[in-house]
Structure 1
Amino acid sequence: MNDSAPDDEVPQGSPEGGPRGGEAEPGAPAPLLVPRTPTGHHEVDARLDRLADADHLATDGHIEVYEDVHRGLRDALTALDAPN
């Protein structure tokens, strides 16, 4: 009986010790890949694009990004009500 691995067995992980195929480490931040459709309003689109910054943060870092985006969107809506 031979205890070595068969020749056709694929090793787990990359040679560097990380996951293969672009998979995220368990518990590591991973992008949600939620599509963001442009609205045509530059300020709103810039704020929505900022949501992608949360993709690379741990969950406890999301709140800062979400609050910033919310504040910017609220300001943009408030500006619509301001007299020209």
Structure 2
Amino acid sequence: MTDSVPEAAPPAAVVPVPDPDLPAAGADDDPSAPAPLGVPRTPTGHAGVDAALERLGDADHLATDGHVAVYEDVHGGLRDALAALDTRPGPPVPARPHDNRS
């Protein structure tokens, strides 16, 4: 009769406990992937300027080579908003009287 030795139990699996202070890791996490900068954008009250500033958020999800197109678009929108300030109708400019001294 052969003495049988009971098999040892497999070691307990170690289950990592996530740190609640760190963002949850996902299957598609890539340290080289674009990450939002988290820069707050305060509304100005001017719709055109606010829209241009919100457009900056699009750069958060692009690789750096895609930032140029966003920045150029925002720059154009801000330039247009400034130019529109010059075209607003205002009060008429009073005519200067001519000096009729002879």
TM-score for the superposition, normalised by structure 1? 0.73
Unmatched segments (≥5 aa) in structure 1: 12-19
- In the alignment, the residues of structure 2 paired with residue 79 and residue 22 of structure 1 have an alpha-carbon distance, to the nearest angstrom, of 46
How far apart, in 1, do the equivalents of 2:74 and 2:38 lie? 17
| Equivalent position of 1:48 in the other structure | 53
Unaligned runs of 5+ in 2: 1-10, 18-22, 90-102
Match of 2:72 in 1: 67
C-alpha RMSD of the superposition: 2.3
What are the Cα deviations for residues 5-47 of structure 1, in whole angstroms up to 9, with x where unaligned?
Answer: 8725x28xxxxxxxx6158521100001100000000111011
Within-5 A mapping of 1:22-37: 22=25, 24-37=29-42
In the alignment, the residues of structure 2 paired with residue 6 and residue 73 of structure 1 have an alpha-carbon distance, to the nearest angstrom, of 58
Whichever structure has more helix as a proportion of its residues is: 1
Q: Distance in 1 between matches of 2:12 and 2:70?
A: 47
- 1:21 counterpart residue number: 24
Q: What is the TM-score of this pair, normalised by structure 2?
A: 0.61
SS of structure 1 residue aligned to 2:50:
helix
**Aligned-pair identity (%):** 64
- Asked whether 1:7 is paired with 2:1, we answer no
Evaluate the alpha carbon distance shift between residue 80 and residue 22 of structure 1 in structure 2; reply closer, same or farther with a 3 A threshold.
farther
C-alpha distance in structure 2 between counterparts of 1:22 and 1:49, whole Å:
27
